[in-house]
Amino acid sequence: MKEIVAVIFGLGLGCNALLFVPQVVALWRKKSDAGISLLTFGGFSVLQVVGIVHGVYQRDLSLILGMAASLLTCGSVTALTIYYRLKRMRAGN
């Protein structure tokens, strides 16, 4: 049973990572940070780093991989938001 729960947990983390992809695509297509909360996505990214560190300490590969996948996709949203926000701010000056 423990293995089944671990597999479902890993799949859930993979699905969590996929939930950020539409936001990445929207940011990339619009080339704008409008409507994106940097605090929210930055906070998610920090929590995912904490999750990876926790997974390393617990030697939980599914947690490490799932959080790393989420960090990749959510981190992309965060990075694009920062990029477009800085670009917008520089254009305003």
Q: Domains of the chain by range and CATH?
A: 2-92 (1.20.1280.290)
How far is the C-alpha of 59 from the C-alpha of 63, rounded, in Å?
Answer: 9
**Mean pLDDT confidence for 28-49:** 95
Residues of the chain with pLDDT > 70, as a percent, come to: 99
**Mean pLDDT confidence for 36-54:** 96
Choice between 3 and 34, residue whose per-residue pLDDT is larger? 34
The DSSP symbol for 32 reads -
Choice between 3 and 24, residue whose per-residue pLDDT is larger? 24
Q: Pick left, alpha or beta for residue 58 (phi over 0 → left; psi -120 to 50 → alpha; otherwise beta).
A: alpha
This prediction's pTM: 0.87
Residues of the chain with pLDDT > 90, as a percent, come to: 80
pLDDT at 9 over 90: no
**Helix and strand tally (H, E) in the chain?**
4, 0
Q: What rounded mean pLDDT belongs to the chain?
A: 93
In this prediction, residue 10 carries a pLDDT of 84
Q: Pick left, alpha or beta for residue 13 (phi over 0 → left; psi -120 to 50 → alpha; otherwise beta).
A: alpha
